[in-house]
């Protein structure tokens, strides 16, 4: 088998996911540009017709569950559905890439990365570069969903991002099977999939599971890099923070990238909760390199290493979100000067809180719909 026998698989539900964030535009455009040459499968139900048509246009096989929509909760259902699909189809594939949709882009072909780096392992995971016990939400999930005994078993492993991992097809099928069984035990209100995946992979598949450091370039999951929760995570980070080549809007591992020439200022309009003014910034603000890692992402003009194959969570800061949304749009690739000019003229029409302690307002989305606010724990997904 070769790269044409690889699979990107995702699960999507709800008419709110249309083109612009939190839609599918950046996701499908980035895959098309990445060089990925395998199959793309989207298990879906209750999609907006436009969304379904665009997925098909971009070469996805849409497994539409109509009229048999899942009765279990989404974060249970998606694990079960992927398990059932891989159970029946894993022999058709070499590598399988499980990727989230609304906040993830490919910067290059992840199959090429696996070919060069998977070695004797069967599963490659993505790290958030801080131990589970030192990341508030994941540690709470571990104790509430897995229980204190299982939580203690995985407390020293890095936070595993449940929306980005890849591996050999047969092993991926069994991983989703075991995660499905573990999720099925849980009847509470938190999303059980990510922390259950962390337990299954780090404990049950320990011999065949590998979590690359960020310097190895598989994936960067940026929640502890440019969300407001970067501050408590910072003292416990295991990897150098990533850097960006702003001329091409490409994210690189920080280790070995080269000299940082300045920083893009993070959006700081946050005071314990996301106010309605979050996302009103109209222009990139630059800081000197000396401003420090917590103030902004470092810019490198001539990176000396390879970019990340996968970028997950680009939406955790409004300014950075705008950059990657602009790059991965239907209209064309990234042009820094045009981006700056268009950004200066635009007025943001949507805002979104992430892990907010309080969410009294309703999210206003670009396509004109509204979503009722949900509880704090769902902000990451």
- Paired with 250 in beta bridges are 245
* Pairing outcome for strands 243-245 and 296-300: parallel
How confident is the model over 187-203, as a mean pLDDT?
97
pLDDT at residue 321 greater than cutoff 60: yes
Instruction: Tell me the DSSP string of 297-357.
Output: EEEESS-SSPPPSEEE-GGGSHHHHHHHHHHSBTTBS--HHHHHHHHHH--------SS-S
**What distances in angstroms separate CA 30 from CA 105, 106, 292, 330, 379, one per listed residue?**
5, 5, 30, 10, 23
pLDDT at residue 331 greater than cutoff 80: yes
Q: Please say whether the beta carbons of 179 and 197 come within 8 A.
A: yes
pTM summary value: 0.89
Q: Given this model, what pLDDT does residue 344 score?
A: 74
Q: Given this model, what pLDDT does residue 105 score?
A: 98
Instruction: Tell me the DSSP string of 91-153.
Output: GG-SEEEEE-STTEEESS-HHHHHHHH-TT-SEEEEEEEEEGGGSHHHHHHIIIII-HHHHHH
- Token pair listed for 41: 């499968």
How confident is the model over 140-151, as a mean pLDDT?
98
What percentage of the chain exceeds 70 in pLDDT?
87
Q: Given this model, what pLDDT does residue 361 score?
A: 34
pLDDT at residue 228 greater than cutoff 70: yes
Specify the range with the lowest mean pLDDT, choosing from 233-237, 307-311, 339-343.
339-343
Q: Given this model, what pLDDT does residue 371 score?
A: 33
Instruction: Name the residue among 186, 113, 112 with its Cα closest to residue 146.
Output: 186
Q: Given this model, what pLDDT does residue 137 score?
A: 95
pLDDT interval class at 268 (50, 70, 90): low
Domain boundaries, the chain: 3-99+109-214, 216-350
pLDDT interval class at 37 (50, 70, 90): very high
Specify the range with the lowest mean pLDDT, choosing from 225-239, 286-300, 335-349.
335-349
Q: Given this model, what pLDDT does residue 5 score?
A: 98
Averaged pLDDT score across all residues of the chain: 89
The pLDDT tens digits for 360-377 are 332 333 333 333 333 434
How confident is the model over 72-82, as a mean pLDDT?
96
Alpha-carbon span 135 to 147, nearest angstrom: 16
Instruction: Name the residue among 127, 214, 216, 205 with its Cα closest to residue 164.
Output: 127
3-99+109-214 in CATH: which number?
3.90.550.10
pLDDT at residue 264 greater than cutoff 70: yes
How confident is the model over 85-93, as a mean pLDDT?
98
**What distances in angstroms separate CA 240 from CA 102, 214, 379, one per listed residue?**
26, 8, 25
The pLDDT tens digits for 10-24 are 999 999 999 998 999
């Amino acid at each position: 088998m070769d790269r044409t026998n690889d699979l990107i698989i995702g699960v999507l539900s709800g008419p709110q996911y249309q083109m612009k964030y939190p839609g599918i535009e950046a996701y499908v455009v980035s895959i098309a540009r990445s060089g990925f040459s395998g199959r793309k499968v989207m298990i879906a139900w209750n999609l907006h017709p436009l969304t379904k048509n665009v997925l098909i246009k971009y070469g996805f096989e849409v497994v539409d569950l109509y009229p048999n929509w899942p009765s279990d909760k989404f974060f249970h259902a998606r694990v079960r559905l992927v398990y059932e699909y891989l159970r029946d189809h894993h022999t058709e594939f070499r590598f399988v890439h499980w990727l989230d949709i609304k906040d993830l882009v490919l910067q290059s072909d992840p199959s090429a990365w696996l070919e060069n780096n998977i070695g004797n392992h069967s599963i490659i995971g993505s790290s958030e570069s801080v131990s589970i016990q030192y990341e508030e939400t994941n540690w709470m999930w571990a104790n509430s969903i897995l229980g204190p005994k299982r939580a203690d078993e995985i407390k020293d492993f890095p936070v595993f991002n449940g929306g980005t991992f890849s591996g050999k097809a047969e092993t991926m099928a069994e991983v989703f099977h075991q995660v499905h069984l573990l999720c099925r035990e849980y009847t509470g209100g938190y999303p059980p999939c990510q922390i259950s995946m962390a337990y299954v992979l780090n404990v049950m598949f320990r011999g065949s599971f590998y979590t690359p450091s960020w310097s190895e370039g598989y994936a960067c999951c940026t929640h502890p890099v440019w969300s407001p929760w970067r501050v408590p995570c910072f003292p416990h980070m295991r990897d150098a923070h990533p850097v960006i080549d702003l001329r091409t809007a490409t994210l690189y591992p920080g280790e070995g990238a080269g000299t940082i020439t300045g920083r893009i200022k993070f959006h700081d309009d946050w005071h314990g909760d996301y106010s309605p003014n979050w996302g009103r910034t109209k222009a990139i603000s630059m800081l000197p390199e000396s401003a420090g890692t917590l103030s902004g992402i470092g810019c490198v003009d001539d990176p000396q290493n390879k970019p990340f194959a996968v970028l997950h969570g680009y939406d955790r800061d409004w300014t950075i979100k705008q950059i990657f949304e602009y790059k991965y749009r239907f209209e064309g690739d990234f042009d820094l000067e045009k981006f700056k000019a268009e950004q200066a003229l635009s007025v943001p029409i949507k805002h979104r809180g992430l892990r907010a302690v309080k969410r009294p307002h309703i999210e206003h989305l670009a396509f004109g719909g509204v979503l009722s606010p949900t509880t704090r724990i769902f902000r990451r997904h």
